[in-house]
Amino acid sequence: MIITVASGKGGTGKTTIATNLALSLPAAQYIDCDVEEPNGNLFLRARIDRRLEVGKPLPEIDHQRCTFCGECARACEFNALAVLKKKVMVFPELCHGCGVCSYVCPEKAVGEGEKIIGVAEVGVVPREGEDNLGFVQGILNVGEPMSPPLIKRVKQFAEPEKIVIQDAPPGTSCPVIQTINGSDFCLLVTEPTPFGLNDLELAVGVVRQLGVPFGVIINRSDSGDQEVREYCRREQIPVLLEMPMNRDLAFAYSKGIPYVREVPAAREQFRRLLADIEKELRRC
Ligand code: SF4
Ligand code: SF4
């Protein structure tokens, strides 16, 4: 089962939920898909066993064959090509690696190269007396604007026999869609504030479009107002967990220690969360 922990905005506690949930389950794997700012490992401190460079396809122009007809540049949706008199320029930052330029070129002058955009790291989080927690994270190169190819690659390390917890990037744009797509269930983490509600509505729009079953977690649930709960009630969205402000959790967080390591009894609420997700899935 693949469970993605997402949220319409940053700072809601998504990584706290994802890391603690993963640590509470016996046969689990944590995948940090927030490749622009992977911070799950600040808490998990995984032992990294493999590190692989990840690239995205990038067109390579054979200037011997090219007639400078301009067909490729006209077809490129992303303005990533400029055809000059005697040269075709490729702008790697704009290219999405879609391959359309190669498809339309009448001279077969567009080959496929690669641009390295980051690394994928694979390892384990050692756990005493139980199976190690599987760990994967992607790290996007600084200045690289295109994260979905790296997210796609790190997701390929998911181990089908485990419960995979994917930590999504914040927001509702392409990297989030790339992460959620193919998940069995999505947990949307929010907070009971007007900002939280606004971004939750956007995130709900995304998961509904993708057809992924989902539920909501309200973090810092003893603050703010009732609007998020009202919205969930109106939209018949299950609220699977409410987490009030918790001094122990905040203290552990400030030291980079996962809450369930500091307070092992807290694992129970995350195990119950998994049982509730399974119940929701049976209802779908
Ligand atoms: S479509 Fe092919 S031949 Fe035409 S400009 Fe592009 S690379 Fe050159
Ligand atoms: S691969 Fe796609 S995005 Fe990149 S240059 Fe070619 S047409 Fe444009």
* pLDDT string in tens for the chain (284-residue length): 999 999 988 888 999 999 999 999 999 999 999 999 999 999 999 999 999 999 999 999 999 999 999 999 999 999 999 999 999 999 999 999 899 999 999 999 999 999 999 999 999 999 988 889 999 999 999 999 899 999 999 999 999 999 999 999 999 999 999 999 999 999 999 999 999 999 999 999 999 999 999 999 999 999 999 999 999 999 999 999 999 998 988 999 999 999 999 999 999 999 999 999 999 999 88
End-to-end CA distance of the chain: 15
Give 154's contacts (C-beta < 8 A, 6+ positions apart). Answer: 31, 32, 33, 35, 54, 120, 136, 137, 138
| Residue of minimum CA distance from atom 8 in ligand 2 | 76
Quick one: which atom of ligand 2 is closest to the CA of 100?
7
pLDDT the model gives residue 283: 86
68 lines ligand 1 (CB under 6 A): yes
Q: Which ligand has an atom closest to residue 65 CA?
A: 1
**Arch. (CATH architecture) of 63-108:** 2-Layer Sandwich (3.30)
Which residue in 4, 25, 17 sits closest to 275, CA to CA?
25
What is the per-residue burial (b if ≥16 Cβ within 10 Å, else e) of 69-89?
eebbbeebeeebbebeeeebe
Quick one: which atom of ligand 1 is closest to the CA of 110?
7
Q: Where are the domains of the chain?
A: 2-54+122-283, 63-108
- Domain covering 2-54+122-283 in this structure, CATH number: 3.40.50.300
pLDDT the model gives residue 10: 83
* Side chain identity at residue 213, one-letter code: P
Report how far ligand 1's centroid is from the alpha carbon of 103 (Å): 10
Residues having CB closer than 6 A to ligand 2 are 59, 76, 78, 80-81, 95-101
Which residue in 68, 208, 93 sits closest to 146, CA to CA?
93
